[in-house]
């Protein structure tokens, strides 16, 4: 079954403890506006080989997810997040939160500066501690309140949030935790500069090709997708807000030297509405596909678009924000 109690924790960062080989979680102390404290436990090492965790950090993050969080005006403390689209729930596969090919494995700790996961986490978390207008959002599974004090920061009762990583495509005993729209992650908002930092983690053993239940699709290639070496089809632009009477459009490039038969391919929006494609896209050519308006719908409030191949595997994915939509008739370029 999926993880229990999927929530987002919002609050000020007060302290942190770096991970060690014996205690392989980076610990963050969070406090809400009422003075209630929570601990965020971030995996810095995988229990399944290889042990190095995949990471993606952005110190100037822009995504329609930010629009949803801002519009929700979440209270500090814990808020339950429905595991479905059109809200603040995270899904690395379906929401196209970032380019997964940019994820890199990092060890927990090695000698030197800015060369391990502890250093990467510490850089942004310390910045948040020292900045009074910084607010952290942690997505994952909650625990507590417990009957004892927290073992790291000693506040009582102990409580917090963990599973701050991708929570689908698992192997072994962790398959039971698979689900969609329940991935973990950390966002930090620096209000004075209106800058967002994003931290997303996954394990190398996890699959980025998952079914409707979040389980890894058998025989799918491992690792982040699509790989730059195999990406032949690219979503390059979309007409999200057409002038009156005109259809929404998606622009697709065939970068390969061969014609591609699109039979069996489909476009998918953030709400998982699918629109099948037909015809052939010649080598080096661009398809301007007019949406029917009956299946895939491009929201003016921001959204995501994915391209699935005939086996259901994602071969391309993009996202856009509300501010990118702009005036009627203007393309959003990816």
Mark whether 58 and 153 lie in a shared domain: yes
Say if 303 falls within a structural domain. Answer: yes
pLDDT confidence of residue 112: 66
Of the residues 181, 203, 225, which one is the last residue of a structural domain? 203
Count of structural domains within the chain:
2
Tell me which residue range forms the domain holding 179. 6-203
**Per-residue confidence (pLDDT) for residue 202, from 0 to 100:** 96
Please provide the distance, in angstroms rounded to a whole number, between the alpha carbons at the two ends of the chain. 36
DSSP string, 124-175: HHHHHHT-TTEEEEEEEEEE---SS--TTT--SS--EEE--S--SS--GGGG
In a shared domain, residues 60 and 106: yes
258 and 169, same structural domain?
Answer: no
Same domain? For 270 and 197 the reply is: no
User: Do 255 and 165 fall into the same domain?
Assistant: no
Residue 250's CATH number: 2.60.40.1260
Written as tens digits, the pLDDT of the chain (334 aa) is 699 999 999 999 999 999 988 888 999 999 999 999 999 999 988 888 788 999 999 999 999 999 999 999 999 999 999 999 989 999 999 999 999 989 999 887 776 676 788 998 999 999 999 999 999 999 999 999 999 999 999 999 999 999 999 999 999 899 999 999 999 999 999 999 999 999 999 999 999 999 999 999 987 776 676 554 457 999 999 999 999 999 999 999 999 999 999 999 999 999 999 999 999 999 999 999 999 999 999 999 999 999 999 999 999 999 999 999 989 999 999 9
Residue 127 to residue 190: CA distance in whole angstroms: 9
pLDDT of residue 113: 73
- Which residue bears the tokens 């929700």? 72
Provide the pLDDT for residue 185: 98
State whether 49 and 167 are in the same domain: yes
CA–CA distance, 144 with 147 (Å, rounded to integer): 8
Alpha carbons 140 and 28: distance in angstroms, whole number? 14
pLDDT of residue 46: 83
- Tokens 């205690």 sit on residue: 23
170 and 273 co-located in one domain: no
Pair (161, 281) in one structural domain: no
The gap from C-alpha 97 to its chain's centroid, in whole angstroms, comes to 4
**pTM, rounded to two decimals:** 0.90
Q: Does 217 reside within a domain?
A: no
Say if CB 7 and CB 78 are below 8 A apart. yes
């Amino acid at each position: 079954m999926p993880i229990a109690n999927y929530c987002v924790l919002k609050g000020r960062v007060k302290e942190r403890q770096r991970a060690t080989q014996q205690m392989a979680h980076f610990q963050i102390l969070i406090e809400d506006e009422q003075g209630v404290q929570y601990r965020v436990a971030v995996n810095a090492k995988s229990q399944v080989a290889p042990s190095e965790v995949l990471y993606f950090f952005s110190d100037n993050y822009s995504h329609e997810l930010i629009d949803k969080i801002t519009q929700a005006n979440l209270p500090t403390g814990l808020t339950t997040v429905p595991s479905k689209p059109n809200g603040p729930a995270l899904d690395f596969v379906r929401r196209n939160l970032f380019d997964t090919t940019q994820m890199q494995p990092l060890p927990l700790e090695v000698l030197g500066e800015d060369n391990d996961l502890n250093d990467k986490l510490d850089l942004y978390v310390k910045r948040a501690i020292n900045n009074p207008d910084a607010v952290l959002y942690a997505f994952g599974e909650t625990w507590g309140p417990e009957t004892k004090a927290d073992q790291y920061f000693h506040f009582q009762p102990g409580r917090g949030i963990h599973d701050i990583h991708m929570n689908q495509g698992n192997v072994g005993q962790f398959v039971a935790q698979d689900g969609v729209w329940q991935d973990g992650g950390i966002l930090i908002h620096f209000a004075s500069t209106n800058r967002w930092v994003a931290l997303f983690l996954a394990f190398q053993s996890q699959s980025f090709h998952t079914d409707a239940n979040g389980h890894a699709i058998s025989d799918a290639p491992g690792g982040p997708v699509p790989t730059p070496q195999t990406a032949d089809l690219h979503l390059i632009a979309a007409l999200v807000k057409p002038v009156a009477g005109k259809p929404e459009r998606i622009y697709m490039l065939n970068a390969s030297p061969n014609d591609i038969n699109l039979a069996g391919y489909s476009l998918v929006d953030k709400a998982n509405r699918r629109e099948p494609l037909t015809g052939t896209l010649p080598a080096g050519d661009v398809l301007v596909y007019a949406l029917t308006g009956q299946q895939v719908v491009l929201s003016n409030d921001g959204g995501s678009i994915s391209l699935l191949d005939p086996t259901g595997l994602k071969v391309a994915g993009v996202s856009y924000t509300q501010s990118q939509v702009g005036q009627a008739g203007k393309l959003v370029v990816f």
